[in-house]
Each structure stands twice: as C-alpha cells, then as structure tokens.
C-alpha cells in the first residue's frame, strides 16, 4: 500500500466512549420533554382474527387520556420495507394476523393511566383459522393471511447461473444435505423507543432508537401524510440494533399520530416482551443443498432450495430470501448455481433482517457440506477450501465482483493461528476442531426504494475561529463505531489530528444517509466523509496559496501543520495577523510551520465560513437478472474461523473452548473497533448456534419473550477469541476500507458444527445445538 | 399509592426523599434524581443494565424498591468519576474498546468496580462470575474482560 496514514489504522479510543462510560451519553429514555404524554399500543391476543367492532369510548372517557386511535381513525395507507410488498397497516382495520398485531393506540398523562385505558378498549374479534408453520401455511386448504398473496407465498425466487445439469453431469460425486435453524431474536439491550414532538408550525420531530433515520423519515412521512421536509428524525445513542431496528416501527408512527392529535410530545417504548412480538429478526430457514464435485475437490454445481418462515408481514423478507441464495456465490469458485427460494407468510411476528442478512444459515449448511465433501475425498478441509478459493479480480457466477478478497489469507491465518495441523484428528476423545469461511457485502448496491438518490451526503464545517472541524452526517451510530470511524476518516482526509474533529450524526437534517444496515457505513459514508474532508482541505489550501502567493500544489496539511514544498515562502505575515487577532491568548502557534488553525482562519477571512461536502453512491453494479440487486456491493469483506469444542459424549453437551478468527476488512480504520465487530459477531453466531430459539405455543404466542428465558450469550458462555485482522487494499473503499460487521458472523456456526462433527463424527442438521439434539446425532451415527 | 420518607446516601450525598411505595430504586434514581446513567433494558432483572451498588454490592435497581434503600448507600455510574478524572474501570473500558453501544456499560462498570474494590487481583474466572448478570449483545465480552483485568492492575497499584 505504501501510503503512511496518520490517524486511521490506529487504536484510537472511540469518540463516544467517555460519555458512555460515565453515564452521560444520551439515549432515548434520557431525553425529557415538557408535558410529554405516554403512548401505548393495544395488540391482538389472537394469531388470526377478524375485527368486528372496536369500542374505545370508555378509554376515551378515562380522565388523563388525551387521545385514542384505531385503524378507522387513520388514513388507509399500507407501508412496509420493500415498496413491492407494502403489506402492513399501522393499526389493523379488518383483520389481525399475529399475536401482537397492533389494533389501537392511545396517549395519556402517565403510564398507569395509559395501561388502565388500554384495558377499557373493547375489541370484538372473530377468531380465524391460523397457520404457524411453513407446512401448514402451504397446505392446500390453508387459511389465507393476505388476500393479495394466495397460497401464503410472500416471495418466490428462481435463479440459475451457469448450467447446473451439466455441472452435475461433470461431477464425480454428488451429495445432498439439509439444515434447519430456529427463529432468533435481535436481543439488543435497549428496546425500541420513540418520542414524537409535533410543533405549531406543522413540523414533526421524531426521536427514535433506529438504525435508519432516513427510511424512518420517509415511512413516517408517507403514512402520516406530512411533507417529508416537515419530518425530522433524530437518533440519539442507540443500545444496539443488529438489523431489527432497520425499519420504521409502529412506535414511530403511532407516536407521530398521537402527537399530531394532542399537540404534545408523546413517548412510546416497547417492553421487552413487545420487542419479541415486533421481532423483525432472523427467519427460520430450511435449506436443502445438492452439491456436485470432482475427485480433485473442484466444486462443480450447487442446486439449492430454501424455505423461509416469514411471519405475518414482509418486512425485509424479500431481500432476505434473495440473500439466502445469492450469498453462496462466493468465496468459492462455483461455476453453476441454481436457487429456488420461498418466503412463506405465517401467523407469527414478522421476521426481517439480522446480522449476516439471509446468508447465515445457508453458509452454515454449505460449509458443513464442504467438510463432508472433504471427508469423502480424504482431503483436509483447509486444503479443499483453498483448492476452490476465489481471489481478488474473480467474479462469481451471479456477478458478484471481488475487487479485493483476502479469503485465502484469512484461511491460512486461522489455520496457523489455531495450530490446525497439530490438532486436527489429534485431539483427545470428545474434542474437535472445525473451520469455515464466509463473506458479506460492504453495503447494499441499491437503496431499498428505487431511486437515484445518493446513499449518503456529508458536510464538514470548519469552525470560523480556526482549528476544529465539525462533521455532520445522517449516519447512524448504533454501537458499531461509525462516529469514530467517520471522525478518523475526516481527520485523515484533512490532515489534522483526531482531537480536532467533532462529529454530529443520526439526524436527517444533516443530509441523506441510508443508515446502519448491510455493513455499508464505513465504505459508503466513509467515501462521502473523505470527499468532504478533501473538499475542506482544498478550500483551505486555495485560500492559503492565494495569501502566500504560492502554487497550491506546493502546499499540504499534515498532522495539523502546513507543509510547504520548496523554499522562499514567507509565512510571517500570516502568523502576525493571526497573533494580532489573539492578543493575550495562551498557546499560540510558534515555530517555522503554519498550523491548520492559521490556515483555516485565512480561509475564513477570505471566503467566509468554509464548508466541505461529500457524497457517495455506488456505480452501477452486478448482473441484469431479476434479484441481481441483492448481493451486489462495491466490495466484499470475508472471514475464516476455527472453533475448538469439547463434547460430552454421554450427554451431548457442547462447550466451545476457543475461536480463532480472521477477517479481511480492507484497510482497518480503527483496529480496536474491527476486533470489536469480529468478537461481537462470534458471540451472536455462537448464541444462535448453541441455544437461541424463539419458541411459540400452539396459539402463536411467544413462550419465552424475556432475556431470562431467551438465552443470549453471557460472559460465562464466551470462549477465548483470537482475532487476526487481515488487511487488503479495497480499490472501491475509502482509504482501502470495507466491511467487518456482518461477514464476521458467517463462519461461526459452521465452524462450531464442523468442530462438533470432528469430535463426534456426527453432522447435526438442526440448530440450536441442544444436548438432546447432539446426543441424538451421536446415537444415530453410532447406529449406522 | 402510599408515600414514604426515606433517608439514603447517593453518590456520597445524604438525601431525604418522598417516594411511592411501589416505585423501584431505578425509577427514583432516574426520574426523581435525574441520574439517568443507569439504563433499563428489561425491567425484570434479566439484563443488568440498571445495576447500581447498594452498600458496595451490585443490585438490579429495577428489582429493588426505593423504600428498601432506606438508610443505605447507593452508588450510580455518575458517582465514579472525580470531575474529569474517570475511575480506573471506566478508563480501561474506554481504552480497551470494552464499550460499543454503551447501553450495558454503566451496569457492567459498576459490577466490575464492586468486585475490584474487594479484590483488585481477581482472576479471569472471578471476573466472569462477577459480570455474569450483565448482558452485552455487542462486544462478545472479550474486550470488557481485558479492560477489567487491566483496571484491577491499575487499582492494585494505587
């Protein structure tokens, strides 16, 4: 790479960490508004029912209640995530489709009054037959959940790349395997929350714990009918998102309507139980893969079917069902690939996007299958993977272009880092070691709605009195570290220390930013930030060149100092002018070099306030086939992991002993943050692999809607992780950077599965790895 | 709801408060005293985000009634830093990258402080047990453990 960076590539502490460590960071619940009301939502107790009548009169009459709304009070507008599937209405008018579907909302002076009023709303339901599983939903006489989607088929994908029949004909071996996971919950620690403030000039300010202020602004505007320019969405600090916060929630819209109706601020929150009911998290996937390969290990063809249990609404599900297929196109050379995907409506909460969107279970099966193939061929799993590995410059059969790809380096790094050669096949009974790889997009190539919009715009303003700059972006810091990454990129681009950069983000007034999803922020907002920084630098140097009467290309700013090429430039006049303006001040610039402060002051005095702007949208990417938009990205990050496990062969209890993890994130903007994403990804993957499962009773009610009963990894569950950051130079990324937040989850489940198989000889085809399931697999294996 | 006078010490300050008998310590600290550093993620004692120290021991303040704090000493995250100088656990969490979204951080930091006050040389297994009631969905805990170990070293020295 050769380029010496001054700010990026370091382990600078996060810019938001001191506030978060001391309790000063402001989250939704820490905001207070004068005379704020509390809003609550009435939800359906039935999985599927017709609404015959709603009587809200008693609730409206309760003292302290300020407004009650039902579906009949709202404009008849359908919304959702994908414009092709707007299948949600804010409050049900005719029919509820899952236990938790929204029926009414109200605002009152306090929570006690609001909850009391909720019980006074009388809803007459006519319960309807319901379906809770894919099989039941696809049965011939199944009840139809949405009239517009007969057969309960929400989305259907049929793709073929290359010639799969010929690929199988050329194969020496063919095998077919399955994998079934369970519905997962996002389980971010802060539930969704929103406060809407409608003002007297007809503007609505919505504070929301969202990943996507921009899409929330659009959805709220569309549903309420307010001009989009009158809706401002502000995201304070957010307590984690992971996907399920990447769309407008009923809280956002109900709070908006209730504030419009009452003229007062309205605060709404989901309880933890309501988080499970809103869901929008990982689908249940049922994958079947038939793979053909040659004696030498070359993969020839993949025929893949997948059915997704989607819940009552589409949410992100159209993208999910496409991703479930497209994300197998890499990182192995796979010349022929066929995919048939189905997303099915059921009378359960809607599933949506979650870390590793759509690709995690497909990856789990495919990587387990590769190990089974390796065994059939008598090859080492590492060797088989390296035999088929893609490299930078390769394009997958479904047109995903690997502009950089350190996949081989990641595999080699984890093989070395885990002592693979010394351990594989040589561990004591009950212990095993397994490896897997994966990759993910660095930002979706297209916005969710069809548009030529920029994916982000960034403004950097230089403070008029000198040295510091302020980065303004709509990007959503949700814990992943985007504020820090953008501040570092701005500092690097301008040539100033990180301390000279302040950042404000997460506000739609700062510009367009599509938000924190599809691991897009570092690459996309990073590009716009870099460009805005370069724009600032150019303006400052233009002014200074004029003032000093030198050619601009002789000037540069490095670490906050002005570097001048060649001799004969007299800086004294500029210095004197600056010192005169600051008579009596301490800490004034000294020495031979001008400072950025002096240069910025010169620029202000010449041009007025200096503002740099940047923008980014990806070039036209990917193939022309239907669904080509899902999976295309300007760049791809990739990961490999090795898991070592211990299995109690008597009980089936699995313990993960350690994980060796390597990720190619392009140029690491902040090494500590990169490792943080890698470690967090492993923990989320480990939870899903080992114990996470949202359970339902036979009436469609969630049985474990709490963090006590829905087990996410605690500190006791986590093994030691050895994280190795592999840096490639991504030509399409700012300073060579690309994603880390989601690619890093891809190998975790299959690495554990492969380790369990190494330990027991049994391939488990259903998640999570409960002791019963593992023990059964071991016993079945012994029977063979 | 019946109200009660209680006397307690919060972050070293002696206070007399009038609290409803059904209000939790978390509610009173957040709403009445505006100590919003503690976070509420579940309100039933599962997540640990509302951890505060009661006489030096960590409790889920959503499970403690305010009246139970009568005569006791409460430490919240706001009580750790001395002016601009952060507590060693806070410093270490910042430097080691133990903080991502930050929602669990105040509770996590207080649980760690309670342990290290008693045992600055606590080993990794002891630290894990002490933090086992504080859920974090972002970090995978590794950098938190590294931070707490380092904080212990810093506290042991001082």
- Sign, CA torsion A96/A99/A102/A103: positive
Distance, in angstroms, between B111 CA and closest chain A CA?
13
Q: What's the pLDDT score for residue B158?
A: 61
CB contact under 8 A, A14 and B99: yes
Of A13, A190, A718, the CB nearest to B103: A190
Residues in CB range of A186: below 8 A, 6 or more apart: A240, A241, A242, A243, A244, A245, A275, A280, A281, A354, B137
Q: Match 């400052």 to its residue by tokens.
A: A540
A253 backbone dihedrals φ, ψ, rounded to 5° = -80, -40
Q: Give Cβ neighbours of residue B86 (< 8 Å, ≥ 6 apart).
A: A18, A21, A22, B80, B94
**A479: contact with B, CB 8 A cutoff:** yes
CA distances from A397 to A29, A337, A498, A772 (A): 48, 7, 42, 39
* A191 reaches B (C-beta below 8 A): yes
DSSP designation for B30 = I
CB distance from A480 to chain B under 8 Å? yes
Q: Are residues B150 and B115 in the same domain?
A: yes
The domain spanning residue B74 has which CATH number? Answer: 3.10.20.30
Q: Cβ–Cβ contacts within 10 Å for residue A590, how many?
A: 9
Which residues of A56-188 form beta strands (DSSP E)? 65-70, 95-96, 102-108, 122-127, 153-161, 173-180
B60, containing H or E segment: strand B57-60
Within this chain, do residues B97 and B130 fall inside the same structural domain, yes or no?
A: yes
B138 vs chain A: nearest CA distance in angstroms? 5
Q: Do A712 and B76 touch (CB under 8 A)?
A: no
Is A111 within 8 Å of chain B by CB?
no
A708 to B46: CB separation less than 8 angstroms, yes or no: yes
Task: Find the domain containing B13 and state its range.
Answer: 3-79
Q: Hey, is the C-beta of A190 within 8 angstroms of any chain B C-beta?
A: yes
Residue A649 has what pLDDT?
A: 96
Query: In chain B, what residues touch A186 (CB-CB under 8 Å)?
Result: 137
* Cβ-defined contact of B36 to A30 (cutoff 8 Å): yes
Specify whether B71 is located in the same domain as B104: no
Task: Tell me the pairing of strands A204-208 and A153-161.
Answer: unpaired
Mean pLDDT, residues A72-93: 96
A503, β-bridge pairs:
A471
User: Which tokens in the block code for residue A382?
Assistant: 């590492």
Question: Cβ–Cβ contacts within 10 Å for residue B63, how many?
Answer: 15
Residues of B in contact with A188 (CB under 8 A): 101, 103, 137
The closest CB to that of B99, out of A17, A271, A681, belongs to A17
Task: Look at A481 and B136 and tell me if their CB atoms are within 8 Å.
Answer: no
Same-domain pairing of B17 and B63: yes
User: Rg of chain B over CA atoms, in angstroms?
Assistant: 15
Which of A22, A191, A237 shows the shortest C-beta gap to B90?
A: A22
My answer on whether omega of the bond before A271 falls inside 30° of 0, hence cis, is no
Mutate to test the interface with B, among A189, A674, A681, A708 (most CBs of B within 10 A): A189
pLDDT for residue A288: 98
**Chain B residues with beta carbon closer than 8 angstroms to that of A706:** 42, 44, 46
Of the residues B79, B108, B136, the one at which a domain ends? B79
Q: Tokens 């990961």 sit at which residue?
A: A639
Q: What is the CATH number of the domain that holds B117?
A: 1.10.150.120
B contact test, residue of A191, A239, A521 with most B CBs within 10 A: A239
E strand or H helix at A416, and its extent? Answer: helix A407-417
> Closest approach of chain B CAs to the CA of A317, in angstroms?
23
- A679 close to B (CB below 8 A): yes
Does residue A752 contact residue A689 with C-beta atoms inside 8 Å?
yes
> Is the pTM value of this prediction over 0.80?
yes
Q: What is the pLDDT of residue B156?
A: 86
Find the residue in B nearest to A23 (Cα). B37
**Has residue A1 got a pLDDT over 50?**
no
Interface test with A, best of B48, B102, B135 (most A CBs within 10 A): B102
Q: Are residues B11 and B43 in the same domain?
A: yes
* DSSP H or E segment with residue A757: helix A748-760
Q: What is the pLDDT of residues A606-639, one digit of tens each?
A: 999 999 999 999 999 988 999 998 999 999 999 9
d(CA B136, CA B143): 11
Q: A21 and B36 in contact by Cβ < 8 A?
A: no
C-beta atoms of A479 and B102 within 8 A:
yes
Residues of B in contact with A33 (CB under 8 A): none
Taking CB atoms and an 8 Å limit, are B105 and A11 in contact across chains?
A: no
Of B97, B101, B87, nearest to A238 by C-alpha is: B101
Rounded to a whole number, what is the distance in Å from the CA of B142 to chain A's nearest CA? 7
| Contacts B38 to A, Cβ<8 Å | 23
Greatest C-alpha distance within chain A: 90
Q: Do B104 and B66 belong to one domain?
A: no
* pLDDT tens digits, one per residue of A204-241: 999 999 999 999 999 999 999 999 999 999 999 999 99
Residues of A whose CB is below 8 A from B40: 29
B66 and B9, same domain (yes or no): yes
Identify whether the C-beta of residue B111 lies closer than 8 Å to the C-beta of residue B59.
no
Name the closest residue on chain A to residue B22, using Cα atoms.
A112
A722 and B CB contact within 8 Å? no
Q: How far is B19 from chain A (nearest CA, A)?
A: 16
Q: Tell me the pLDDT of chain A averaged across its residues.
A: 97
Closest chain A residue to the Cα of B76, Cα to Cα: A23
The distance of A555 to chain B (nearest Cα, Å) reads 35
Q: Which of B30, B62, B79 is the last residue of a domain?
A: B79
Contact B81 A22 (CB under 8 A): yes
Inter-chain residue contact A716 with B129, CB threshold 8 Å: yes
Q: Taking CB atoms and an 8 Å limit, are A237 and B38 in contact across chains? A: no
Of A17, A240, A714, the CB nearest to B94: A17
> What's the whole-number mean pLDDT along residues A294-319?
98
The strand pair at A37-43 and A102-108 is best described as antiparallel
Smallest CA–CA distance, residue A207 to chain B, in Å, is 17
Residues of chain B where predicted confidence (pLDDT) is lower than 50: none
Q: Are the C-beta atoms of A482 and A475 separated by less than 8 Å?
A: yes
User: Same domain for B7 and B56?
Assistant: yes
Confidence band, pLDDT 50/70/90 cuts, at residue A466 = confident
Would the pLDDT of A728 be above 80?
Answer: yes
Number of domains in chain B: 2
Contact A676 B42 (CB under 8 A): no
Strand partners, A126: A50
Which of B33, B48, B79 is a domain's end point? B79
Within this chain, do residues B94 and B58 fall inside the same structural domain, yes or no?
no
Task: Residue A215: name the closest of A192, A245, A194 by CA.
Answer: A245
Nearest to A21 among B41, B45, B93 (CB): B93
For A:23-42, CB contacts with B below 8 A are 23-27, 29-30
Q: pLDDT tens, A155-196?
A: 999 999 999 999 999 999 999 999 999 999 999 999 999 999
Domain identity same for B10 and B54:
yes
- Asked if residue B114 and residue B153 are part of one domain, the reply reads yes
Give the helix/strand (H/E) hosting A285.
strand A284-293
Task: State the Cα–Cα distance between residues A573 and A784, nearest whole angstrom.
Answer: 89
ipTM greater than cut 0.95: yes
Say if residue B42 is in the same domain as residue B95. Answer: no
| List of residues 6+ apart from A163 with CB closer than 8 A | A336
Residue B142 has its nearest CB partner, among A14, A242, A721, at: A721
- The CA-CA-CA angle for residues A442, A714, A695, to 5°, reads 80
């Amino acid at each position: 790479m050769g380029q010496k960076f001054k700010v990026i590539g370091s382990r600078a502490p996060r810019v938001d960490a001191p506030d978060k460590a001391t309790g000063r960071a402001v989250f939704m619940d820490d905001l207070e508004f004068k005379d704020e009301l509390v809003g609550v939502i009435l939800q359906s107790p039935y999985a599927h029912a017709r609404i015959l009548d709603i009587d809200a009169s008693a609730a409206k009459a309760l003292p302290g209640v300020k407004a009650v709304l039902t579906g009949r009070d709202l404009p008849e507008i359908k919304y959702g995530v994908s414009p092709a599937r707007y299948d949600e209405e804010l409050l049900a008018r005719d029919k509820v489709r899952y236990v938790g579907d929204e029926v009414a909302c109200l605002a009152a002076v306090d929570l006690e009054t609001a909850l009391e009023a909720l019980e006074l709303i009388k809803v007459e339901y006519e319960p309807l037959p319901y379906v809770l599983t894919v099989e039941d939903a696809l049965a011939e006489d199944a009840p139809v959940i949405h009239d517009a989607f007969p057969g309960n088929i929400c989305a259907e994908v049929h793709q073929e790349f290359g010639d799969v029949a010929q690929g199988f004909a050329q194969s020496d071996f063919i095998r077919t395997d399955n994998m079934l996971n369970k519905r997962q919950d996002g389980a971010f620690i802060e539930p969704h929350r929103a406060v809407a403030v409608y003002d007297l000039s007809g503007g609505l300010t919505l504070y929301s714990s969202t990943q996507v202020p921009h899409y929330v602004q659009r959805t709220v505007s569309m549903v309420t009918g307010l001009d989009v320019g009158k809706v401002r969405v502000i995201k304070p600090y957010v307590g984690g998102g992971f996907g399920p916060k990447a769309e407008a929630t009923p809280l956002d819209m109900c709070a908006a309507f209730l504030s419009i109706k009452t003229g007062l601020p309205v605060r709404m929150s989901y309880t933890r139980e309501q988080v499970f009911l809103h869901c929008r998290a990982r689908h249940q996937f049922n994958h079947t893969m038939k793979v053909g390969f040659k004696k030498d290990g070359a993969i020839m063809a993949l025929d893949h079917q997948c059915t997704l249990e989607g819940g009552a609404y589409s949410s992100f599900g159209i993208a999910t069902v496409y991703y479930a297929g497209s994300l197998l196109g890499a990182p192995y050379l796979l010349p022929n690939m066929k995919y048939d995907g189905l997303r099915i409506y059921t009378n359960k909460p809607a599933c949506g996007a979650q870390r590793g969107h759509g690709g995690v279970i497909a990856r789990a099966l495919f990587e387990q299958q590769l190990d089974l193939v390796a065994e059939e061929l008598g090859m080492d799993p590492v060797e088989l993977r390296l035999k088929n590995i893609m490299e930078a410059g390769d394009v997958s059969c479904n047109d995903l272009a690997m502009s950089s790809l350190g996949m081989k380096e990641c595999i080699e790094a984890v093989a070395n880092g885990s002592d693979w050669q010394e351990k594989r096949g040589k561990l004591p009974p009950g212990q095993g070691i397994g490896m897997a790889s994966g990759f993910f997009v660095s930002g979706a190539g297209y916005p969710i709605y069809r548009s030529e919009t920029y994916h982000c715009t960034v403004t950097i303003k230089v403070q008029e009195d000198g040295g510091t700059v302020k980065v303004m972006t709509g990007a959503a810091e949700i814990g992943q570290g985007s504020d820090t990454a953008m501040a570092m990129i701005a500092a690097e681009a301008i040539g100033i220390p990180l301390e000279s950069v302040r950042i404000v983000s997460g506000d739609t007034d700062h510009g367009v930013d599509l938000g924190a999803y599809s691991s897009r922020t570092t690459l996309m907002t990073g590009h716009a930030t870099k460009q805005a920084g370069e724009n600032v630098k150019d303006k400052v140097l233009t002014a200074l060149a004029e003032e000093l009467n030198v050619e601009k290309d002789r000037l540069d700013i490095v670490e906050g100092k002005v570097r001048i090429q060649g001799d004969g430039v007299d800086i004294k006049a500029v210095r004197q002018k600056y010192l005169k303006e600051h008579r009596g001040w301490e800490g004034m610039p000294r020495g031979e070099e001008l400072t950025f402060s002096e240069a910025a002051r010169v620029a202000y005095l010449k041009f007025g306030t200096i503002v740099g702007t940047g923008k980014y949208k990806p070039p036209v990417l990917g193939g022309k086939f239907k669904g080509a938009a899902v999976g295309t990205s300007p760049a791809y990050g990739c990961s490999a992991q090795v898991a070592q496990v211990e299995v109690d062969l008597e009980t089936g209890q699995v313990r993960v002993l350690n994980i060796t993890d390597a990720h190619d994130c392009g140029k690491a903007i902040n090494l500590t943050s990169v490792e943080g994403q890698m470690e967090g990804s492993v923990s989320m993957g480990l939870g899903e692999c080992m114990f996470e499962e949202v359970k339902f009773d036979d009436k469609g009610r969630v049985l474990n809607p709490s963090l006590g009963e829905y087990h996410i990894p605690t500190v006791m569950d986590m093994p030691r992780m050895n994280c190795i950051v592999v840096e490639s130079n991504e030509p399409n990324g700012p300073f060579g950077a690309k994603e880390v937040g989601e690619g890093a989850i891809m190998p975790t489940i299959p690495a554990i599965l492969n380790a369990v198989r190494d330990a027991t000889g049994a391939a488990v085809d259903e998640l999570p790895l409960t002791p019963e399931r593992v023990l059964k697999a071991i016993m079945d294996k012994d029977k063979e | 709801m019946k109200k009660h006078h209680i006397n307690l010490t919060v972050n070293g300050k002696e206070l007399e408060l009038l609290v409803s008998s059904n209000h939790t310590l978390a509610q009173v600290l957040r709403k009445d005293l505006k100590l919003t550093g503690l976070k509420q993620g579940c309100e039933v004692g599962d997540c640990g985000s509302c951890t505060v120290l009661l006489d030096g021991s960590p409790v889920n303040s959503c499970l403690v009634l305010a009246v139970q704090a009568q005569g006791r000493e409460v430490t919240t995250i706001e009580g750790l830093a001395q002016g601009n100088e952060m507590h060693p656990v806070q410093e270490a969490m910042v430097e080691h990258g133990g903080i991502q979204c930050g929602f669990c951080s105040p509770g996590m930091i207080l649980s760690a402080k309670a342990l290290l006050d008693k045992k600055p040389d606590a080993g990794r297994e002891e630290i894990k047990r002490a933090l086992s009631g504080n859920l974090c969905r972002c970090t995978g805990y590794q950098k938190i453990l590294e931070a707490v170990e380092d904080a212990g070293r810093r506290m042991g020295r001082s």
